[in-house]
């Protein structure tokens, strides 16, 4: 079972920020293949240490997160009122990027090592499902999954923002190669 808070330490780290990194890993080319990154797989493990001798795993995680963000930007409507796991205004995305940046200066990389060890899509799905819980229902619109609406002020409350991130992350569990990118409309 994935228990992020036990595997990563940081002053401002939240489990939802770690879910951003976990979903990014799940989407990599060797697992679900939703984006073409190889940041935390065997290819990244082979190539990145030559380029980033001290921070290869962290750089790989950043590549996975940025690849996921690009895929989401391409798939979702180009509006400011769309809330998804890999972008603003959801605090988990910026917290994940901040945590990875901080990790470059030292710290516990056991969470990244756990993600690197995922040996197949089913392993990733099971680990993610153990932490996120029930998958919310939504309306499939093209290559997206609209989960409904959330009030803008809910993202100012850390517990509600974390619950939103957890619900979004749960939507990736069980998805096959034809990803339906989950999102909420902000009201």
Whether 14 and 42 have beta carbons less than 8 Å apart is answered as no
Tens of pLDDT along 93-127? Answer: 999 999 999 999 988 999 999 999 998 889 999 99
For residues 92 and 20, the answer to whether their CB atoms sit within 8 Å is yes
Please state the domain extents for the chain: 4-186
pLDDT band at 77 (very low <50, low <70, confident <90, very high): confident
* Model-wide pTM > 0.85: yes
- The secondary structure of 63-75 as a DSSP string is HHHHHHHHHHHHH
**Would you say residue 2 has pLDDT above 60?**
no
Helices (H), the chain: 4-7, 15-26, 42-51, 56-75, 91-103, 110-116, 121-132, 158-170
pLDDT of residue 14 exceeding 80, the answer is no
Better pLDDT: 9 or 76:
76
Token duo for residue 113: 């090592």
């Amino acid at each position: 079972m994935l228990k992020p808070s036990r595997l990563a330490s940081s002053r401002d780290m939240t489990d939802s920020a770690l879910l951003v990194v976990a979903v990014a890993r799940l989407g990599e080319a060797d697992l679900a293949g939703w984006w073409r990154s190889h940041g935390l797989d065997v290819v990244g493990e082979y190539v990145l240490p030559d380029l980033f001798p001290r921070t290869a795993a962290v750089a790989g995680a950043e590549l996975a997160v940025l690849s996921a963000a690009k895929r989401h930007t391409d798939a979702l409507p180009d509006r400011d009122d769309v809330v998804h796991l890999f972008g603003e205004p959801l605090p988990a995305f910026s917290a994940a990027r901040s945590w990875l940046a901080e990790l470059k200066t030292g710290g516990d990389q056991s969470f990244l090592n756990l993600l690197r060890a995922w040996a197949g899509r089913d392993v990733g799905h099971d680990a993610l499902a153990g932490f996120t819980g029930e998958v919310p229902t939504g309306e499939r619109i093209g290559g997206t999954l609209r989960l409904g609406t959330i009030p803008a002020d809910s993202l100012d409350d850390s517990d509600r923002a974390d619950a939103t991130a957890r619900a979004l992350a749960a939507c990736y569990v069980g998805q096959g190669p034809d990803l339906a990118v989950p999102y909420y409309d902000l009201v």
